[in-house]
Homo-oligomer: A and B are copies of this chain.
Amino acid sequence: MAPRKKQAPEVNNTSPVSMADLARELGVSMTTISRALSDHHSIGPAMKQKVLKLAKKYNYQPNRLASALRKGKSQLLGIVVPYIEGRFFPSVVHGIETAASKAGYNVIICQSNEDVAQERRNLDILLSAQVAGILVSLSRTTHDFRHFEKVRSRGLPLVFFDRIVEGDNVNAVVLDDQEGGYVSTRHLLQQGCRRIAHLAGPQHLNIYKNRRQGYLDALREAGLPADESLIIYSDMAQEQGAEGMRQLLATANPPDGVFAAGDYSALGAMQEAARQGLRVPEDVAISGFSNETFTVITQPPITTIDQRCEEMGQAAVRLLLELIEADGRPFAPRQVALRPELLVRNSTARAEEASVGAVRNPAAKYVGVAAH
């Protein structure tokens, strides 16, 4: 008979050591092992040492499934986002994972692909995975919120971020868009602009409504009239920004400043201004919103609002952890609004004085090298 073929590259299939193995080796009960590892007072220091040493020796790793099953709570947090692309969501997820992992939690991530049905399914999956809490940014097609009742009725901590369910009986973290619109417009005013236009987004979306409101607030504060002819509504794509700019420049009294509610439309507007021979910022200052990566590489770089993506993730996790620790005890729902950060770059640099409290020509993060 031929010699038995050696199995492919040594797959030992070492089954991981369990508490039972340690108990057997030390001749004690599993109780002792468990309590020694969790530093229970009823275990003597000598025994604790022995157990710890053996655990190290065998490289013992607790089975989280078993632990979670018994305790009824896992060390997992669930995230549901529309998708993991672009600049915003990945950064928030980055912040979430970082904060969660610091607190000893891991993160299981789901995409809804902007689809309610998928969102619903994701919630079910997270529930059956026994996560300790759930973070959600709503899909664009979610208008019925009943599926979140299931989560709530289980007493499972739930925090929304960015795209939230409105109301004061939910826990949520958002960017203060109104403040963003306000500081952007005020900045333009400080740079000497007196006729400031606004490239606005769809007003049924809160973010755009709020940015516009902040814009109006700043004008009012400066004693300037709100002129609806200076507000151009669109879906905020690059080309639409250019189109908006064309409209504005075609009027008898064109603006000397433009606050765009998004970076892409700011870019389009800036390119259109350049095509028409205008200098930015001298003839018209332009600012955007979102701190997209490209805003630092345009000529000139675009002044914009940073959305504190990572902070948003961290804040959401903090809130969720508070809820988890409250453990069912009454907890007053809280809505957190993050202060946006104005990033002043050359697309608005008309005045010499740097504006107070704003960063001057700040670079975007992670720009420069991306080794892939």
Contacts and interface: CB of A to CB of B under 8 A. Distances in A.
Interface in A61-112: 61-66, 68-69, 74, 76, 83-91, 93-94, 97-98, 101, 106-111
Q: Copy number of this protein in the oligomer?
A: 2
A290 B372 contact: yes
Nearest to A8: B330
A325 B311 CA distance: 40
A154 interface: yes
Interface string A170-198: 00000000000000000000000000000
A369 B61 contact: no
Contacts of A15: 154
A162 B129 CA distance: 30
Interface in A15-67: 15-16, 59, 61-66
A201 B63 contact: no
A235 interface: yes
Contacts of A136: none
Contacts of A108: 76, 106-109
Interface string A190-234: 000000000001000101100000000000000000000000000
Kindly state the interface size class of chain A when it binds its partner. Answer: 35 or more
A14 to B, nearest CB: 5
Contact of A68 (B61, B65, B369): B65
Contacts of A14: 153-155
A307 B293 CA distance: 19
Contacts of A98: 111
Interface string A103-146: 00011111100000000000011011110000000000000000
A331 B8 contact: yes
A238 interface: yes
A262 interface: yes
A88 B201 contact: no
A362 interface: no
Contact of A83 (B7, B94, B129): B94
B130 A64 contact: yes
B84 A111 contact: no
A19 to B, nearest CB: 13
A152 interface: yes
A237 B154 CA distance: 50
A267 interface: yes
A344 B110 CA distance: 34
A152 B8 CA distance: 12
A160 interface: no
A81 B167 CA distance: 36
Contacts of A276: none
A9 interface: yes
A4 interface: no
6 contacts: A9-B152, A65-B129, A97-B111, A271-B299, A292-B293, A307-B372
Interface of A: 7-9, 11-16, 59, 61-66, 68-69, 74, 76, 83-91, 93-94, 97-98, 101, 106-111, 124-125, 127-130, 150, 152-155, 162, 169, 201, 205, 207-208, 235-239, 262-264, 267, 271, 290, 292-294, 297-299, 307, 328, 330-333, 365-372
